[in-house]
Structure 1
């Protein structure tokens, strides 16, 4: 059962679990569970995709309950009228807050984009970050005799593929559990010492003006057990 965090006659939103695909894909033919199909069976009606979260990312995921609602919500994303807030645990101590304005080259999948023509283009990409807490733990990882982590709030102003993961890697503070752009030794250390077996990136809130009622809405998704345990271990629970 998926956790439904909002529902009205036009829109439904769930708290997507980590490591669950949004919908069926021929790139993952052996998978058997998908958010879209699970939600459809759970509520007994079709739902329409509006946006996606990467497979390892958890958090707010919204669907339309009709094709019209799906189109209206998709337009809000395309027009940058959706305000998104994520939380992440990253390697090292990152200070204060700031803006990463670092263009990203399109990432083409070797299978999905095998017939794409032309070279990937470089696109503008902007992310605001804010440090919420820091910690040093007495466990050696790699060449260091201890490990440091920061809890950060991330607000993407553009929507590029893997933008948050790539921007934090660019700052040399990769997100823990990121197997594509992260630090393998840090990922292994987090798994060994803290039981972290997932990407520590969570889509916490999504704010927008309802396209049918014109009312402002903020949807919030709680963090899973692994998140809660790490926050407790790091003394960040409160």
Structure 2
């Protein structure tokens, strides 16, 4: 039997859960052999239908919001479409990332329906901030030591693989990214640091509640893999905690 999903917040209209890394949100033609999905597990756990209103990539862990009825789903989908929802991610990347940067690179959609060259390039903006860094006395690439950063990423648009593609293009690929990352660093983390997965987590989600417009902020703790790595690298002070804050006026996600 699958382990119960961690519920971060629930009311009569919506529920926020912690999505495990490696779990698909729902059935897709690109993964016909899969038998387990977040949507199904949450539905079985709650004993009722649930409706996803945004997405997380399969290898990404973290905060995922579902509506509990079709009307709420329509309203929340509108909130996300109109950019009245704000997401906060933590990523472990190769290199010493910038203190602050705004990545404004248009991206072509990657839906697999037609060649990329035929897909239009769409606006994509991600704000990043370096929270910490570490230098290891080991040669993974061509240098005698290896440097890594903990970055905060806040996507202002919602393109597929946006954070992963933006950071790779900027020169700071996320560790564990098989498609956009660096294989030698991915292998080093998998074999020597017990991190065989994408080190990207959605740790914060702020949005307008569809019932009364109050501002809701949901924060989720990291899983055991990333928590252990943060502690090993001396980054424990950046570990997020499970929390929910509600207010009548808009505020910022916790730093």
TM-score range relative to shorter protein: over 0.9
Residues 108 and 120, structure 1, Cα contact 8 Å, conserved in 2? no
Q: Where do 5+ consecutive residues of structure 1 fail to align?
A: none
- The partner residue of 1:94 within 94, 97, 102 is 97
Instruction: Kindly indicate whether the alpha-carbon contact (under 8 Å) linking 2:108 and 2:116 is maintained by their aligned counterparts in 1.
Output: no
> CA 1:9–1:92 in 2, change beyond 3 Å: closer, same or farther?
same
Q: How far apart are residue 118 of structure 1 and its match?
A: 8.5
- C-alpha deviation, 1:117, in angstroms: 11
Residue 61 (str. 1) matches residue 68 (str. 2): no
**CA contact under 8 A between 1:15 and 1:61: conserved in structure 2?**
yes
| Residue deviations 1:56-92 (CA, integer Å, cap 9, x gap) | 0001101110011111110111111101111100000
Secondary structure of the equivalent of 2:118? coil
Please give the residue correspondences for 1:86-235 in structure 2 after superposition, counting only pairs within 5 Å: 86-109=89-112, 113-114=113-114, 119-235=118-234
Secondary structure of the structure 2 residue equivalent to 1:38: helix
- Determine helix, strand or coil for the equivalent of 1:76: helix
Q: How many residues align?
A: 234
Unaligned runs of 5+ in 2: 238-255
Whether the 8 Å CA contact 1:40–1:46 is kept in 2: the answer is: yes
Verify the 8 A CA contact 1:88 1:152 in the aligned structure 2.
yes
Q: TM-score, normalised by structure 2?
A: 0.89
Counterpart residue number, 1:71? 74
1:138 Cα offset (Å)? 1.4
Give yes or no for contact 1:94–1:131 (8 Å, CA) kept in 2.
yes
Could you tell me how far 1:140 is from its partner in structure 2? 1.5
Shift of 1:26: 2.9
TM-score, normalization: structure 1?
A: 0.95
| TM-align CA RMSD | 1.4
Aligned partners of 1:102 and 1:125 also within 8 Å = yes
Aligned to 2:203, the other structure's residue is in SS state: strand
Q: Please list, as runs of the form range in 1=range in 2, the aligned pairs for 1:19-38 lying within 5 A after superposition.
A: 19-38=22-41
SS of residue in 2 equivalent to 1:60:
strand
